[in-house]
Amino acid sequence: MASLRALRLSALTRVNSPVSRLVARTYSTKWLGRRLRCEHVLDSRHSAYQAAESLIGLKERLAELIPEKQEEVKWVKKELGAKVLGEVTVDQAYGGMRGIKGMIWEGSVLDADEGIQFHGYTIPDCQKKLPAADGGEEPLPEGLFWLLVTGEIPTKEQVKLVSTEWAARSALPSFVEELIDRCPNTLHPMSQFALAVTALQHESTFAKAYAAGTNKSKYWDSTYEDSMDLIAKLPNIAGRIYRNVFKDGKVPTIDMDKDYSYNLSKLLGYSDNKDFVELIRLYLTIHSDHEGGNVSAHTGIVSLEAATFYVCDSDSLFPTIPQTHLVGSALSDPYLSFAAGLNGLAGPLHGLANQEVLRWIIHMKDELGSTEVSDEQIKEYIWKTLKGGQVVPGYGHAVLRVGIYVFDVRLGNSLVWFGQYLAEKTDPRYTAQREFALKHLPTDPMFKLVSQLYNIVPGVLNEHGKTKNPWPNVDAHSGVLLQYYGLVEQDYYTVLFGVSRSLGVLAQLIWDRALGMPLERPKSYSTAHIKKMFANK
């Protein structure tokens, strides 16, 4: 949305399906019952099991939806398969494939102006509609996962089922615990994270089913099982890494009656602070998914329908639409695929930016000697960063763009004045975190500094003239919230991003297998080939 601040910055005149619910429900409740029994659960968990009998669980709802979706995709391919989504220029081939439309991603779509929508729901919609914990206000990420998988808003009871199921599946094999314990504290937490997830591949139901010759129509089932297991185990991995690297190495246990975010907070050592737990619920919800083209999603799991390029008369490269995938598309199981995505998330232009932001701010504070700094001092610090050939972390985005609004003023039929302005298009994930801070930590000096930067950085980046979107992204705000509650270890921040990102990419991987998405293999050219292609044109 356009804002006055932006004007100030640059107001320049320049169904239910046929699949039987009963069969599916029986399957799921049996599964839950088996899990709960074999893990020697207590009465409280049995009551969750009994409640499950009267509920439609996630897997049975998914089983209902799959045939419908398969039919829908079949129809789209038959009726629309020959339509052209867009052209590809040589600039795009050299420019990180920005803007190339060649990918299918079901859970979310990123609008360049308005930001992310999960099956059409914005972040404020999710905050209103997704179930919250008792006494809490922020959405439970379990509900967001349900939404990503099914496209539907779950009931509170359905969300509770997911919490119970994730807690029940959360235990790590001892060799993975030992592997994490043997990592040197100097190994970056993201490397430990990817290592542990790769090692968990030992448990993969999908890999075992594939080796046993399972029919491809069943791939989604074991992918679902792996995905649920993997998501469930992430708090234990993340908590263990945090405790080993930054604390005394003692890891608390998962509380079987609590939600996922509470348990992650508990393992980190912050569950006594209910505001921190609420922050983690919000954090895990908003970092979960950002459509398919971002590095972590694209690397790990994506279903890219891109780019067998052919030359056309207009000197452009046009994509045809063969369906292709990346790591997951090779039928690498969810563990291998997600580990690949984590390695992408660990890059400083992607998820690692959240640690870089706080470092950069703390460095500025130290250099300027206080959190009470003038706008002029901040501008100088930003310019120093830019002149040093570095990026300002937390600002800019590869898809989100500023809106350019053109306006005119008329008297009767006469045009008196016209102009254009660049409208503020702040990442809604930044806005959600800012609102959280305004509610919970309005006077925190570091939050005030982040707010001051929000007023200054876009103007400087505009003046610098390179960045296509000078507004903050999600990473500009997350660190300051975590440090307020005592989680000050910046090197750890991207691990939390990674826990959240599992929800989006694994939801998609389940659908990739259900829809039978093929191996991803876009076409590439050498510079010499491109020159030759257009030599006489």
Q: Residues interacting with ligand MLT, by CB under 6 A?
A: 290, 294, 350, 398-399, 473-474
- Let me know: does 382 contact 457? Beta carbons within 8 Å: yes
Q: Can you tell me which of 102, 300, 396, 479 binds ligand NMX, judged by CB under 6 A?
A: 396
Shortest spacing between CB 167 and ligand NMX, in angstroms: 29
Q: Look at residue 11 and give the partner it binds from ligand MLT, ligand NMX, none, a contact being a CB closer than 5 to 8 Å depending on partner kind.
A: none
Using alpha carbons, select from 302, 298, 334, 299 the residue that is nearest to residue 201.
334
Q: Which is nearer to ligand NMX, 128 or 466 (CB)?
A: 466
Strand partners, 395: 472
298 in active site: no
Q: Please tell me which residue in 298, 475, 477, 512 is annotated as part of the active site.
A: 475
The residue at minimum Cβ distance from ligand NMX is 396
- Sort strands 324-325 and 317-319 into parallel, antiparallel or unpaired: unpaired
Q: Look at residue 467 and give the partner it binds from ligand NMX, ligand MLT, none, a contact being a CB closer than 5 to 8 Å depending on partner kind.
A: ligand NMX
> Which residues neighbour 259 within 8 Å (Cβ) at sequence distance 6 or greater?
133, 140, 142, 163, 281
- The reply to whether 341 sits near ligand NMX by the rule CB under 6 A is no
How many angstroms from the chain centroid is the CA of residue 176? Answer: 25
Residues numbered 253 to 282 that lie near ligand NMX (CB under 6 A) are none
46 in active site: no
> With left for phi above 0 and alpha for psi between -120 and 50, is residue 512 left, alpha or beta?
alpha
Q: Look at residue 394 and give the partner it binds from ligand NMX, ligand MLT, none, a contact being a CB closer than 5 to 8 Å depending on partner kind.
A: ligand NMX
Q: Look at residue 472 and give the partner it binds from ligand MLT, ligand NMX, none, a contact being a CB closer than 5 to 8 Å depending on partner kind.
A: none
Residue 518 and residue 495: Cα distance in Å, rounded? 30
Residue 234 and residue 230: Cα distance in Å, rounded? 6
Shortest spacing between CB 104 and ligand MLT, in angstroms: 16
| Residue showing tokens 């929800």 | 503
Give φ, ψ of 515 to 5 degrees. Answer: -95, 0
- The reply to whether 468 sits near ligand NMX by the rule CB under 6 A is yes
Residues numbered 93 to 132 that lie near ligand NMX (CB under 6 A) are 98
Q: Where does 153-221 show beta strands of DSSP type E?
A: none
350 in active site: yes
Shortest spacing between CB 498 and ligand NMX, in angstroms: 11
Shortest spacing between CB 287 and ligand MLT, in angstroms: 7
- The reply to whether 351 sits near ligand NMX by the rule CB under 6 A is yes
The residue type at 272: D
Q: Please tell me which residue in 397, 427, 477, 512 is annotated as part of the active site.
A: 397
Strand partners, 414: 411
- Residue 187, token pair as written in the block: 């190994």
- Which residues are the active-site residues? 350, 397, 475
Residues making contact with ligand NMX (CB under 6 A): 98, 349-351, 353, 386, 391-398, 466-469, 473-475
